[in-house]
């Protein structure tokens, strides 16, 4: 067994729900396939960042893929722009962007410019602007989104957002978040670019047309999540495994691209409850049957239901995931099934509660007494309690690729 599939179900973990007779949505769901896998493998619990820490989805995925966030994580912007296919160079500052609508006083009227569907014709006029030795690079994302990179010497990502995150409020100036010259310089340059971008966007003929037809103009670039890019060792160089990423959501494609995986496009993979999970699993199996040694498959929507406090929606989505798992029962690969963090329906946000993890590979992985995939069941497993950074070393061990330490 020399290939592996890592399946991460976002926000899967939960707490007991009274309306589900004290079970979690995962425990209450009908999961015969996941349970069968749990019975064939070894189980445990995992805290992606460590006990008591509340992980974001970006940091938790980096940790699970073996990248220490202390060293590699500087902000979400770098990961998001990677997912848009923008190449980062060491020293770049990257931000997540939205095209929004402001009035003449720069008050935000709509953070998504009426959920504009294509920012390409707008941001093309911003790409390549220069100021004080810094170049602005902008590329359209999905819907109202865009990726933003500042490239030049002496930059810092210690920057506040100009996006006020609410409507009816004036756009913020970008402020440096520390006393360094670099942060002050970068804030000044970015503020200049944002003013210039507003002028250019407001004059875009397409916006005149939008106003005439009663649509909010896409006249302001709202930025957040600045990150600073340091060279990172790519997944293949680190583990010797040629890897691909299969995901619907932009952040997770970004995680794949950021760590040097090939990001595969799977029709029907939406990152939403309607996503085609079976298509993702088939794409993963095809990849592993071909040139790839490692497939990272991400499934988003359990997290979304958790954040909505919708325990029934979460349970039903887990039913749907489990049905798709029948495709993996006979896979001749190491299967690692887990989540990035818990998103308890009662909290409607991420929590630091550990998540279940199983590792399954007939003949290559020991078994334990666990016969169900759930928070309580996996707590009795032989893997015990892992941190995210321990997942990849264990995968490498089970694949027989771990280096001998000593003689």
Report how far Cα 262 is from the mean position of its chain's Cα atoms.
15
Binds Zn ion by CB under 5 A, chosen from 3, 5, 10, 283:
10
**Six token digits for residue 4:** 């592996």
Q: Where are the beta strands (DSSP E) in 236-315?
A: 243-246, 262-264, 294-299
Q: Is 260 left (phi over 0), alpha (psi -120 to 50) or beta?
A: left
Nearer to Zn ion, 156 or 342 (CB): 342
Spatial CA neighbour of 392 closest among 334, 341, 342: 334
Q: Count CB-CB contacts under 10 A for residue 130.
A: 12
Binding region for Zn ion (CB under 5 A) out of 4-12, 27-35, 123-131, 259-267: 4-12
Least separation in angstroms between residue 345's CB and Zn ion is 15
Least separation in angstroms between residue 9's CB and Zn ion is 9
Nearer to Zn ion, 293 or 340 (CB): 340
Nearer to Zn ion, 9 or 42 (CB): 9
Pattern 315-354, binding to Zn ion, x per CB under 5 A? -------------------------x--------------
Nearer to Zn ion, 7 or 102 (CB): 7
**Footprint on residues 285-314 left by Zn ion (CB under 5 A):** 303
Number of H helices, E strands in the chain: 15, 14
Least separation in angstroms between residue 303's CB and Zn ion is 5
Distance CA 219, CA 106 (A): 10
Q: Which residue is nearest to Zn ion (CB)?
A: 57
Nearer to Zn ion, 92 or 340 (CB): 340
Q: Does 57 bind Zn ion (CB under 5 A)?
A: yes
H-assigned helices in 140-270: 181-202, 205-212, 235-239, 250-258
**Six token digits for residue 80:** 């998001």
Binding region for Zn ion (CB under 5 A) out of 9-17, 38-46, 113-121, 257-265: 9-17
Nearer to Zn ion, 63 or 398 (CB): 63
The helix/strand/coil state of 404 is coil
Q: Count CB-CB contacts under 10 A for residue 385.
A: 14
Size of the site for Zn ion (CB under 5 A): 4
Spatial CA neighbour of 340 closest among 369, 315, 376, 306: 306
Nearer to Zn ion, 93 or 261 (CB): 261
Least separation in angstroms between residue 300's CB and Zn ion is 8
Q: Return residues touching Zn ion (CB under 5 A).
A: 10, 57, 303, 340
């Amino acid at each position: 067994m020399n290939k592996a599939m890592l399946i991460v179900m976002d926000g899967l973990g939960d707490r007991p729900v009274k309306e589900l007779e004290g079970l979690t949505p995962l425990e209450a769901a009908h999961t015969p396939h996941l349970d069968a896998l749990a019975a064939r493998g070894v189980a445990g619990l995992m805290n992606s960042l460590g006990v008591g820490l509340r992980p974001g989805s970006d940091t938790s995925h980096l940790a699970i893929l073996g990248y220490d966030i202390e060293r590699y994580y500087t902000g979400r912007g770098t990961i998001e722009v990677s997912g848009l296919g923008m190449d980062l160079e060491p020293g770049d500052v990257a931000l997540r962007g939205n095209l929004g609508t402001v009035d003449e006083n720069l008050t935000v009227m709509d953070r998504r410019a009426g959920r504009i569907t294509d920012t390409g014709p707008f941001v093309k006029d911003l790409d390549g602007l220069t100021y004080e030795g810094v170049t602005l690079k902008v590329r359209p994302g999905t819907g109202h989104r865009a990726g933003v990179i500042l490239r030049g010497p002496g930059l810092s990502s210690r920057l506040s957002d100009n996006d006020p995150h609410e409507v009816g409020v004036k756009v913020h100036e970008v402020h440096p978040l520390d006393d360094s010259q670099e942060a002050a310089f970068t804030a000044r340059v970015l503020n200049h670019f944002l003013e210039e971008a507003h002028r250019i966007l407001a004059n875009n003929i397409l916006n005149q047309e939008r106003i005439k037809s009663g649509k909010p103009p896409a006249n302001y670039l709202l930025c957040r999540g600045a990150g600073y890019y340091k060279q990172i060792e790519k997944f293949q160089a680190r583990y010797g495994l040629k890897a691909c990423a299969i995901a619907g959501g932009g952040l997770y494609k970004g995680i794949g691209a950021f760590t040097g995986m090939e990001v595969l496009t799977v029709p029907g993979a939406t990152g939403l409850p309607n996503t085609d999970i079976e298509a993702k699993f088939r794409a993963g199996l095809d990849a592993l049957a071909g040139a790839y040694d490692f497939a990272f498959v991400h499934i988003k929507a359990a997290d979304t239901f958790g954040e909505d406090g919708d325990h029934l929606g979460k349970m039903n989505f887990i039913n749907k995931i489990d049905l798709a798992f029948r495709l993996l029962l006979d896979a001749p690969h190491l299967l690692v099934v887990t989540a990035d963090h818990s998103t308890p329906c009662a909290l409607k946000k991420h929590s630091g509660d550990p998540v279940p993890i199983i590792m399954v590979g007939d003949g290559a992985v020991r078994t334990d007494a666990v016969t169900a995939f759930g928070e309580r069941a996996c707590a009795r497993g032989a893997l015990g309690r892992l941190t995210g950074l321990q997942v990849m070393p264990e995968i490498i061990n089970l694949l027989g690729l771990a280096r001998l330490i000593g003689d």
